[in-house]
Amino acid sequence: MAIVEARNIRKYFGEVRAVDGVNLATREGEFLVLLGPSGCGKTTLLRMIAGLEKPSAGEIVIGAQVVNSLPPRARKIAMVFQSYALYPHMRVFNNIAFPLKAQGVPKKARKEKVEWAAAMFGIERLLDRKPRELSGGERQRVALARALVREPDVFLLDEPLSNLDAKLRTAARYELQQFQKRIGTTTIYVTHDQVEAMGLGDRIAVMNEGKLRQMGMPQEVYDEPADTFVASFLGSPPMNMVERNNDIVGFRPEHLLPTEVHGTSEHLVTFQFHLSRVEHLGAGRLLYGLLGAPFADQKVIANLASNVMIVFQPGMSYTFAVKTANLKFFDRATGLRIEPRPL
Ligand code: ATP
């Protein structure tokens, strides 16, 4: 196990500032998710930690040692990419054993290690098959087992689940989380999928345009976003953002509810809500509409749970409310979070 740190790390490709001064540190044994939109620099940061990319500036520290000048194989890391290429002509056993063979581990020890890693992922019965005889999820597990046999101090995973279909992905996500807790190896996991990040991470590091915007526990980042980027990147549908003088006022769709649904003792801010469209989700409803004064004609979405039985007609106006505590304020110029203020 090891702590991984990035100290003011930068990577420029010509004019492109792929990673632009990132500082972060994992905790021992933590599952840290790097989350951000395509092109925000996540993969480049991960590749610098792995030693596959040389930083333009800054330091990478693994287990209290600056590793900038160490080659990947000396960093005690294991990396699994989106396209985890298994050797197609080799049986699963030999695929998993491959890194050990390359290290010169004796045959008996290799066999024990492979069996141990296979048991970790529940793939013991697949050891005699070729990769083409496996499902996507099974291949994935073989790739992880192959990374595991090297007993790395750090796991670096770059969207390893993105080749799986939605159902398998949910199962694989759970499995990965369980496995990581079992072995306790510090893990950095890259994804652009906020649902995945919320479900997997002990903490999430949210990146945009080469910069770290916020790092915190999933609920913390969701509930207390540091800026408008984080607020709108997490959550589906995203946080409503309405303009008011020099501020932006944000509130989550699930917090915008018909006034009668809120408790009577709550401190509420009420809005006129002109409903334009209702979308049925099965488990609830999304209501699309426009706010009345003083937020005239700004678009918002309300997300109602299935236990809200009120009938809503598009074209009509209703009184909706948000608890004062659920309003988040941001500076309109910088996008940064500011203190709450009266509306
Ligand atoms: P994705 O989720 O699409 O993989 P990402 O967040 O991982 O995106 P990176 O792959 O780190 O993003 O890329 C960050 C930026 O750096 C992008 O603008 C990309 O085009 C640029 N970039 C990455 N690698 C190179 C390279 N080898 N040469 C030039 N530009 C690069």
Instruction: Pick the atom of ligand 1 nearest to 192's CA.
Output: 2
* pTM across the whole model: 0.89
Res 240: pLDDT: 97
Q: What is the pLDDT of residues 96-140, one digit of tens each?
A: 999 899 889 999 999 999 998 898 878 899 999 999 999 877 888
Return the best residue to mutate from 13, 83, 209 for the ligand 1 pocket (most ligand atoms within 8 A of CB): 13
DSSP-derived secondary structure for 216-271: E-HHHHHHS-SBHHHHHHSSSSPPEEEEETTEEEEE-GGG-EEGGGS-TTS-EEEE
Instruction: Pick the atom of ligand 1 nearest to 41's CA.
Output: 11
CA of 148 from ligand 1 middle (Å) equals 27
CA of 88 from ligand 1 middle (Å) equals 29
Residue in 177, 206, 196 with CA at minimum distance from that of residue 35: 206
Instruction: Pick the atom of ligand 1 nearest to 53's CA.
Output: 27
**Do strands 154-158 and 186-191 pair parallel, antiparallel, or not at all (unpaired)?**
parallel
Res 84: pLDDT: 67
CA of 115 from ligand 1 middle (Å) equals 37
Give how far the C-alpha of residue 40 lies from the chain's centroid of Cα atoms, to the nearest Å.
Answer: 13
Tokens of residue 86, six digits: 């298994």
| H or E element, residue 280 | strand 268-280
CA of 17 from ligand 1 middle (Å) equals 9
Return the best residue to mutate from 10, 40, 54, 161 for the ligand 1 pocket (most ligand atoms within 8 A of CB): 40
Return the best residue to mutate from 44, 162, 209 for the ligand 1 pocket (most ligand atoms within 8 A of CB): 44
Res 108: pLDDT: 95
pLDDT digits (tens), the chain, 343 positions:
799 999 999 999 999 999 999 999 999 999 999 999 999 999 999 999 999 999 999 999 999 999 999 998 899 998 887 766 789 999 999 999 998 998 899 999 999 999 988 988 788 999 999 999 998 778 888 988 898 888 889 999 998 877 777 777 787 788 888 888 888 899 999 999 999 999 999 999 999 999 999 999 999 999 999 999 999 999 999 999 999 989 999 999 999 999 999 987 779 999 999 999 999 998 899 999 999 977 888 999 999 999 998 999 999 999 999 999 999 999 999 999 999 988 8
Atom 26 of ligand 1: nearest residue by CA position = 13
Tokens of residue 61, six digits: 């520290």
CA of 119 from ligand 1 middle (Å) equals 36
Atom 3 of ligand 1: nearest residue by CA position = 38
Res 100: pLDDT: 92
CA of 34 from ligand 1 middle (Å) equals 14
Q: What is the pLDDT of residues 258-311, one digit of tens each?
A: 999 998 777 999 999 999 999 999 889 999 999 997 788 899 999 999 999 899
In which order are the strands placed within the sheet that holds 203-208? 77-80, 154-158, 186-191, 31-35, 203-208, 211-216
Instruction: Pick the atom of ligand 1 nearest to 45's CA.
Output: 11
Atom 24 of ligand 1: nearest residue by CA position = 44
Res 83: pLDDT: 66
Distance (Å) of CA 297 to CA 196, 231, 293, 321: 34, 21, 8, 16
Ligand 1: which residues within 6 Å by Cβ? 13, 16, 18, 36, 38-44, 192
| Other C-beta atoms lying within 10 Å of the C-beta of residue 188 | 27
Phi, psi angles (nearest 5°) of residue 193: -100, 110
Domains and CATH numbers, the chain: 4-223 (3.40.50.300), 237-338 (2.40.50.140)
Res 242: pLDDT: 95
Atom 15 of ligand 1: nearest residue by CA position = 18
Res 178: pLDDT: 86
CA of 209 from ligand 1 middle (Å) equals 10
Is-contact 115 108, C-beta < 8 A? no
Q: Is the dihedral of CA 317, 323, 326, 331 positive or negative?
A: positive
